[in-house]
Structure 1
Amino acid sequence: MTYTGWAAGSRITTTRLNEISGIWIPYTMSWTGTTTNPAIGNGIIEAEYALVGGLCTVRGNVTMGSTTTYGSGQFQFSIPFMAATLGHADNHWVGSATSIDRGAAWFPGQCRVASGTNYAQCISSTTAGGGTPTEWNPTRPFTWANTDNLSFTVTYEPA
């Protein structure tokens, strides 16, 4: 989607009014991998966003199914609008994330949207083995399986 900010003379429509009122709007979130894409199979992907004051807040949720495949490379989740460019290439819009290894443990994490991109990535502060923090992928922060879950929330400025 393309984001169009409000300015003097903007026409009010139902869609535009919903966009600035903080109403949660569902959208179809894509789940991709930096090398090979995962496939949700019989799992569930849910996502919604709300626009308030020129900022977009996104909530994403993925529950793995018995036929979910995990691809390869770092997981990426589409966001509804391209993110604004920040002052430095290493700057990110940052949010929170949680992953649940059903029946074993849960891992708090962060969610980031890199400057000028259209996707979010999740990062854990540690891996299941206590290793170096890194983006979530098929084996980080643990090896994903049926009923495992990941969720994130991030607020960013649309471009």
Structure 2
Amino acid sequence: MPYTGLQPGSRITAARLAQISGIWTPYAVAWTATTTNPAIGNGILEGKYALVGGLCVVRVNVAMGSSTTYGSGQYQFSLPFPAAALGHPDFHWVGTSTALDRAAAWYPGQCRVASGASVVMPISSTTATGGTTTEWNSGRPFTWGNTDILNLEVAYEPA
């Protein structure tokens, strides 16, 4: 069922109540990249969302496996509902991301959902080599490998 929120005169049904309850609900998240798509292989890819008030809060977790492939281009993860349009095309819904390189350390980051977009993209304020802000990909914020972890969380207004 597409997200419409609770409107005056809406009938309360079990499905509608579940939709606005704030309960974490799994969804089939797609992991893509702008050039060549990665493949989760024997890793774990999970997406969950909760609708609270007029917001959709989304969590995406990725545990890389030994047969995970990393694709090329900027990583993107599908949202359960498209985001609402904002007042300017360069405005974004902003959240947090973390990456664990098991061989080294945790890397903090942000994630962004563009105005009207259907995907969330993880970004770093700097790269592992000190470069400027950039979207995460197979080599950023480090070169991904087996047992590495990626987490995203963002709240946005559904369209």
Query: What TM-score, normalized by structure 2, do the two folds share?
Result: 0.97
Taking the TM superposition and a 5 Å limit, the aligned residue runs for 1:46-85 are: 46-85=46-85
Q: Residues 19 and 51 of structure 1 are in contact (CA less than 8 Å); yes or no, is this contact kept in structure 2? A: yes
2:128 aligned partner, one-letter code: A
Give the match for residue 21 of structure 1: 21
Q: For residues 66 and 27 of structure 1, what CA distance do their matches in structure 2 show?
A: 24
Root mean square deviation of aligned Cα: 0.9
User: Which amino acid counterpart does residue 125 of structure 1 have in structure 2?
Assistant: S
The 2-side partners of 1:44 and 1:15 are apart by 28
Unpaired segments ≥5 residues, structure 2: none
Q: For structure 1, which runs of at least 5 residues remain unmatched after alignment?
A: none
Runs of 4 or more, structure 1, over 2 Å off, are none
Query: Which residue number in structure 2 is paired with residue 147 of structure 1?
Result: 147
Over the matched positions of the two proteins, sequence identity in percent amounts to: 70
- State the distance in 2 between where 1:3 and 1:22 align: 13
1:74-124: CA deviation from partner (whole Å, max 9, x where unpaired): 000001000000000000000111001113111100011000000000001
One-letter code aligned to 2:100:
I
**If the length of structure 1 is used for normalisation, what is the TM-score?**
0.97
**Deviation of residue 14 (structure 1)?**
1.4
How many residues get paired?
Answer: 159
Amino acid in structure 2 at the alignment position of 1:155: A
Cα deviation code 1:14-70 (max 9, x no counterpart): 121012111111111000001111000000001100001111000110010000001
Please tell me the residue identity of whatever aligns with 1:45.
Answer: L
